[in-house]
């Protein structure tokens, strides 16, 4: 099996440990991740989608054509990229009028959207294409961690279009995948709430974004977790860097380490904090790592 690997912006350009972990994970799963040479920003649904639908769809369609030319489906591990690419792919497959308009634009750079690729999320592939049994066979160091799973918004929703089998308001896909590593998913208040970064809000009004994030952190703290697990580098950045911003604005001292799902699997497969670039994140992961691997370190 091979798949076109869409990197996006924040993962390769801020948290490369997520990319590294994903490449090692998929090596172990015997799935070839093929680079989409020349791919760009998805582009961000909340920003480009909010400014000019045509530009958003045109740039997204260009990315989609790269995978079409490779004859492969696309995998992304960013909810924003997933939302953008899935939505554009869906729209252009369904709406002939818009497709004609976008293809007229793409013709100027010698490309054409054909509608021959599918856009999939990392977690969706792990559950539906890989399977939990195979995932479990990869675990070398079961992790002793209580974690708050954060789904993010553009993964399962809007359910009417996305069609990943689960419930948007009470899902289980991520909790199931996380618990295979030995970590325990702890329920917490308003678990499905947004991190606050999306829709261009972080860029425009960081105070409001921080207020969202603080509410999430409050609830996670009440539940007593060792770490936050996400499947979106933008949420990841918001919980990591944003956590320090919350502390500055509110005088709090939150210090909950943040792991992308791929990083969590990297840990369970025995990768070091350095390989996962956890040592470069704003929130110190060392306490959680000590707990997670404590028994195995003996």
Partner 1 sequence: MSIIDRLKSLFSEEKDMEEKNIADKKSDDVGAKPSNLDDAIVSGTKTSVPISDVLKKDEDAASEVTFKKDVSSIEEQRVEEDLPIIEEDEPSNDEEIPKEEEEESDVEEVQEIQSAEDAAVEDDDETSEIEEDVPVEESLDVEENTSSQEEDVNTDDEEESAEKADDEENNQNKDEKRDNMTLLTDKELLTDANRDPEFTAEFIDAGIETVKHCFQCGTCGGGCPSGRRTPYKVRQIVRKCLLGLKEEVITDDALWMCTTCYTCQERCPRSVKIVEIIKKARNVAAHAGYMAKPHKMTGVFVINTGHAVPINDAAKSLRTKIGLSEVPATTHADAAALEEVKKLCKITAFDELIGYDEATGGLKE
Residue 98 to residue 17: CA distance in whole angstroms: 38
Q: Which residues pair with 3 in a beta bridge?
A: 33
Phi, psi of 116 (to 5 degrees): -110, 5
Q: Which residues contact 176 (CB under 8 A, 6 or more apart)?
A: 127, 132
The burial of 226, by beta-carbon neighbours within 10 Å (0-12 exposed, 13-18 middle, 19 or more buried), is given as buried
- What is the pattern of x (binds partner 1, CB under 8 A) and - over residues 87-126? --------x---------xx-xx-x---------------
Tally of CB atoms within 10 A around 125: 18
Residues, the chain? 298
For strands 184-185 and 258-260, give the pairing: unpaired
Would you count residue 297 as binding partner 1 (CB under 8 A)?
Answer: no
Would you count residue 196 as binding partner 1 (CB under 8 A)?
Answer: yes
| Choices 9-17, 122-130, 140-148, 287-295 (CB under 8 A): range interacting with partner 1 | 9-17
Would you count residue 240 as binding partner 1 (CB under 8 A)?
Answer: no
| Binds partner 1 (CB under 8 A): choice among 275, 282, 287, 291 | 275
Nearer to partner 1, 127 or 202 (CB): 202
| Widest Cα–Cα separation across the chain | 63
- What is the pattern of x (binds partner 1, CB under 8 A) and - over residues 59-78? x--x----------------
Would you count residue 12 as binding partner 1 (CB under 8 A)?
Answer: yes
Would you count residue 277 as binding partner 1 (CB under 8 A)?
Answer: yes
| Choices 54-62, 117-125, 224-232, 243-251 (CB under 8 A): range interacting with partner 1 | 54-62
| Choices 35-43, 136-144, 242-250, 289-297 (CB under 8 A): range interacting with partner 1 | 35-43
Tally of CB atoms within 10 A around 284: 12
Nearer to partner 1, 122 or 226 (CB): 122
Report in angstroms how near the CB of residue 74 gets to partner 1 at its nearest: 14
User: Which helix (H) or strand (E) element contains residue 149?
Assistant: strand 146-149
For strands 258-260 and 2-5, give the pairing: unpaired
Q: Token pair of 98, please?
A: 């818009």
CA 65 to chain centre: 22
Residue 105 to residue 58: CA distance in whole angstroms: 7
- Contacts (CB under 8 A) with partner 1, residues 149-188: 153-154, 157-160, 167-170
Would you count residue 32 as binding partner 1 (CB under 8 A)?
Answer: no
| Choices 25-33, 67-75, 121-129, 189-197 (CB under 8 A): range interacting with partner 1 | 189-197
Q: How many residues bind partner 1 (CB under 8 A)?
A: 70
Residue 51 to residue 290: CA distance in whole angstroms: 45
| Binds partner 1 (CB under 8 A): choice among 205, 248, 284, 295 | 205
Q: Which residues pair with 35 in a beta bridge?
A: 5
Residues binding partner 1 (CB under 8 A): 7, 9-10, 12-14, 16-17, 19-20, 35-41, 43-55, 58-59, 62, 95, 105-106, 108-109, 111, 153-154, 157-160, 167-170, 192-194, 196-201, 203-205, 208-209, 211-212, 215, 274-275, 277, 280
């Amino acid at each position: 099996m091979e798949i076109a690997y869409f990197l996006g912006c924040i993962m390769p350009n801020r948290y490369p440990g997520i990319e590294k972990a994903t490449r090692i994970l998929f090596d172990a799963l015997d799935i070839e991740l093929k680079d989409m040479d020349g791919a760009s920003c998805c582009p961000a649904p909340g920003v480009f989608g909010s400014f000019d639908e045509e530009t958003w769809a045109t740039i997204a369609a260009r990315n989609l054509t790269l995978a079409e030319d490779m004859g492969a489906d696309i995998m992304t591990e960013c909810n924003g990229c997933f939302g953008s690419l899935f939505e554009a792919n869906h729209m252009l497959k369904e709406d002939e009028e818009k497709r004609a308009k976008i293809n007229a634009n793409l013709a100027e750079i010698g490309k054409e959207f054909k509608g021959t690729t599918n856009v999939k999320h990392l977690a969706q592939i792990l559950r539906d294409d890989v399977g939990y049994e195979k995932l479990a066979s990869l675990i070398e160091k079961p992790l002793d961690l209580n974690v708050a799973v954060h789904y993010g918004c553009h993964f399962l929703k809007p359910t009417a279009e996305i069609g990943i089998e689960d419930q948007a308001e009470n899902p289980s896909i991520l909790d199931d995948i996380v618990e295979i590593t030995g970590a325990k998913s702890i329920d917490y208040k308003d678990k499905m709430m947004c991190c606050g970064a999306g829709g261009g809000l972080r860029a425009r009004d960081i105070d409001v974004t921080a207020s969202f994030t603080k509410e999430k952190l409050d609830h996670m703290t009440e539940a007593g977790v060792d770490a936050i697990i996400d499947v979106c580098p933008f949420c990841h950045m918001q919980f990591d860097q944003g956590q320090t911003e919350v502390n500055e604005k509110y005088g709090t001292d939150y210090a909950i380490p943040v792991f992308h799902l791929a990083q969590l699997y990297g840990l369970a497969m025995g990768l070091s904090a350095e390989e996962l670039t956890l040592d470069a994140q704003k929130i110190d992961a060392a306490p959680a790592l000590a707990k997670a691997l404590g028994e195995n370190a003996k």
